[in-house]
Amino acid sequence: MELARGANTVVDGTSLKVAVNGSAPGTVDLMVFQLDERNQVRNDADFVFFNQPVSPEGAVRLESGGVIEIDIARLPADIHQLSVAVALDAAANGTLSAVGGLGVVVEQPGSTAIVAQALGLTSERAAVLVEIYRRGTDWKVRNVSAGWDSGLADLVTAFGVSVDEEPQSRPDSAESADGIRTVPDEAKLSMVKREKLDLRKREVAKVLLTKGGNGIRARVVLVIDKTGSMAKQYRTRVVHRVVERMVPVAIQLDDDGKLEPYLYAVSFVKLPEISVHDAEEWSDTYLHLRGSHGGFNYDKIGAANREVPIMTEILSGLTRGSAPTLVLFFTDGGFSERKEITKLMREASGLPAFWQFVGIGKANYGVLEKLDDLDGRVVDNAGFFALDDIDTVDDAQLYTRLLSEFPDWHKAAVAAGITTP
């Protein structure tokens, strides 16, 4: 049975399996709102989403693969409606109308499946796909296919979820029993943003714990390629999403939870630090290829690759025996000074920094692909992996690839007297 936009039908039985096609965690987020007769949540616990996947009474469960399990018999008497919705991630471009196959299939044991394609969407970035609601003694499903151009914040506030809580003072960084660090600036984020950040911090902490690196404190340096060949990565805001996904690494490793950022091409520029609460604003201000932004002349940095100046600058601030530094170096390749870079990496192996190079975009990465086999180093101080499309890699995969070698380096560097425990 297929429902047109606005059409409804009675559901059979009390056990429903709702499959949402087109949802993708981190890009198109799936959520369910338990609503009372006012069409509002009773409290924030009625908002079921990726970081709160089960409703208080267990009637609604968000499973992997975009599936929602609903037991109508367990819904409280004061819940009159379930709204199944999706929203584009704040860092994702475009609108829901561009999401292929977006829609819902409601499976009813022993009865016909109900199909509700998302119809008529245009400029919406968040939308209710279907409603499952009481009508007398029956429950019905309606194809809604309507939403909000402005996205998630307007969606959740429309149903009474608090997303902009007053900042809470927190004097110092803190660490939970399971090793998840929190910095004071997180209190300035909305609830929804904090929940997403918490998921990412957990993935970072999990990698470090698995590798025996929990408890390491390190300065975190972020280097981003600003050459002309990176134009697409800037235009499609890939570099913005890189910054967003590196912030949890700094929170988990750095004492103040801040990233120390550089952009480089022929020369380089050191930019203001990135804090968790202003990462989006920072990216909009400073991630550019040309022109003058935030008091910096980007044209003077150039548009071609020269890695030696930026690498030399970072090395100049390192002293053997001091605290560790993790350098996260994002580039689309073009490393032409092979001999000079090889020499620098050998010299750098006696200094307290691990260099994690990440290739973004399809390119020839040259000497970076040979770093694991580079001889003549005190310790192995560098890693490299390529991501043709960083948006297709989930957080667990990304942080595993990004951080797996760092704890091993740290152990070896401590044993060699290069850095502190």
The sheet carrying 382-387 orders its strands as 268-270, 260-264, 219-225, 325-331, 353-360, 382-387
Q: Which region holds residue 403: left if phi is over 0, alpha if psi is between -120 and 50, else beta?
A: alpha
Q: Ranked by mean pLDDT, which of 62-66, 272-276, 370-374 comes out on top?
A: 272-276
Contacts of 182 (CB under 8 A, 6+ apart): 170, 173, 174, 175, 176, 251
**DSSP reduced 3-state for 15:** strand
pLDDT at 169: 39
Taking Cα atoms as reference points, which of 344, 345, 352, 359 lies closest to residue 390? 359
The residues, ordered by sequence, that sit 6+ positions from 374 with a Cβ below 8 Å of its Cβ are: 342, 345, 346, 382
**Ramachandran class of 101: left when φ > 0, alpha when ψ lies in -120 to 50, beta otherwise:** left
Backbone angles phi, psi at 29, to 5 degrees: -85, 140
Q: Mean pLDDT throughout 366-378?
A: 80
Q: What is the pLDDT of residues 92-132, one digit of tens each?
A: 789 999 999 999 999 998 889 999 999 999 999 999 999 99
Residue 139 to residues 15, 31, 142, 357, Cα–Cα distance (Å): 11, 20, 10, 54
pLDDT for residue 292:
95
Q: How far apart are CA 39 and CA 251, in angstroms?
A: 38
The confidence score (pLDDT) of residue 168 equals: 42
Query: For 339-347, what is the mean pLDDT?
Result: 91
Buried b (16+ CB within 10 A) or exposed e, 38-58: eeebeeeebbbbebebebeee
On whether the CB atoms of residues 78 and 37 are closer than 8 A, the answer is yes
* pLDDT the model gives residue 20: 96
347 has pLDDT over 80: yes
Q: How far apart are CA 277 and CA 247, in angstroms?
A: 10
Give the model's pLDDT for residue 339: 87
How many CB atoms neighbour CB 208 within 10 A? 22
Region 59-75 average pLDDT: 94
Checking DSSP bridges between strand 174-175 and strand 114-117, what pairing results, if any? Answer: unpaired
Name residues whose C-beta falls within 8 Å of residue 316's C-beta, 6 or more positions apart in sequence.
none
Instruction: Assess whether pLDDT exceeds 90 at residue 416.
Output: yes
Evaluate if residue 312 carries a pLDDT over 80.
Answer: yes
**Better-predicted residue by pLDDT, 6 or 336:** 6
pLDDT of the residue at 163: 64
Provide the pLDDT for residue 188: 81
More confident residue, 300 or 374: 300
pLDDT digits over 135-180, tens only?
999 999 999 999 999 888 889 989 998 765 443 434 456 677 667 8
pLDDT exceeds cutoff 70 at 238: yes
In the predicted structure, residue 242 carries a pLDDT above the cut 80: yes
Name residue, tokens 């404190």: 217
Contact 21, 99 (CB under 8 A): no
Predicted confidence (pLDDT) at residue 389 exceeds the cutoff of 60? yes
Residue 222 has pLDDT above 80, yes or no: yes
Type and span of the H or E element at 402? helix 395-403
Per the prediction, the chain carries an average pLDDT of 90
72-77 own/partner pairs: CB under 8 Å, 24+ apart: 72/11, 72/13, 72/14, 72/15, 72/16, 72/132, 72/139, 73/14, 75/34
pLDDT tens string 327-338: 999 998 777 788
- Per-residue pLDDT, 334: 73
pLDDT at 397: 93
> 34-44 pLDDT, tens per residue?
999 999 999 98
Quote the percentage of the chain above a pLDDT of 70: 95
pLDDT band of 300, cuts 50, 70, 90: very high
> Sign of the CA dihedral 148, 154, 155, 158?
negative
> How big is the chain by its Cα radius of gyration, in Å?
24
Please list the alpha-helical segments (H only) found in 300-394.
307-316, 338-348
* Pairing outcome for strands 260-264 and 219-225: parallel
Rounded to an integer, the average pLDDT of 17-44 is: 92
Listed range (65-74, 299-308, 360-369, 408-417) with the worst mean pLDDT: 360-369
Decide which of 171 and 54 is more confident: 54
* Residue pLDDT, tens place only, 173-207: 667 766 789 988 887 887 677 878 988 999 999 99
Cα pseudo-dihedral 38, 39, 40, 42, rounded to 10: 70
